[in-house]
Structure 1
C-alpha cells in the first residue's frame, strides 16, 4: 500500500475519534509505547494519549493535509502534515504534525506524534 494511503487510513480513524470526542478511541490509533507530544509535556503510551484528548474541549475537530511521506522500512512510515484544530469558541489552531507509523500484527498505528505550532 502506498505511504499516503497508509497515513490516510490511520489518520482518518484518528480524526474521526477526535471529532467524536472519544479519547479511548483516539488512543487506540497509537502503539502501546507511543511517544506523544501535543502542545503540553510529552507522554508515552496510550493512557497519556487518552488523558490528553479527554482534556480537550467538546467540539474540537481536526482536519489535515499530508505534505510529505517516506517509507523508512517495510513496517515504518513517516508522515509530515499540516493540521488545523477547530474549536467552537475560538479561532482554529494550525499546527505542523510529524508522525511515525508502525505496522504491528498487520495493522498500522502511530508510534511517534510530534506537534509544533506555526509561527
Structure 2
C-alpha cells in the first residue's frame, strides 16, 4: 500500500464501520471492528479484547454519535497501519466532546480491524 490515498481508504473503511455501529448504539457491532486481543483505551480505564469494547460502548448514552476526520496515516508493516484522527462525539443532552484518536489497524484473515485504540481528550 504505497499511496496516502490507499492508506486513508483502508482507515476510512474501518472507521466508517465503527462510526455506523457507534451511531446505532450497537456495542457488539462496534466490538466486531476490533481484533480479538485489542488494547482499548477510551475515556475510562483500558480493557483488552472485544468484550471490554462492547461493555464500554454499552455504557455510552443513547443518541451519542461520532464524527471523525483522518489527520495522518502511516504504513508500519504489510498488514499494519497507523491512523491518527480527530473525533467529535456528540450527545442529545450535553455539549460534544472532541478527542484525538490513535489507532493501529491489523489485517487478520484478509479483514482490517482495530488492534489498538487510544483516545486523548482535548481541553
TM-score w.r.t. the length of structure 1 is 0.99
Q: Residue in 2 aligned with 1:82? A: 86
Residue 26 (structure 2) aligned to one of 19, 22, 25: 22
Q: Residue in 2 aligned with 1:43? A: 47
Q: Residue in 2 aligned with 1:57? A: 61
Three-state SS of the structure 2 residue aligned to 1:56 is coil
Residue 95 (structure 1) aligned to one of 91, 95, 99: 99
Q: Distance in 2 between matches of 1:88 and 1:97?
A: 22
1:109 paired with 2:113, answer yes
> How far is the alpha carbon of 1:13 from its aligned partner?
0.2
Count matched residues.
119
1:7 paired with 2:8, answer no
Q: Distance in 2 between matches of 1:81 and 1:13?
A: 15
Q: Distance in 2 between matches of 1:60 and 1:77?
A: 27
Q: CA-atom RMSD, angstroms?
A: 0.6
Q: Which runs of 5+ in 1 are unaligned?
A: none
TM-score w.r.t. the length of structure 2 is 0.96
1:72 paired with 2:76, answer yes
> How far is the alpha carbon of 1:14 from its aligned partner?
0.2
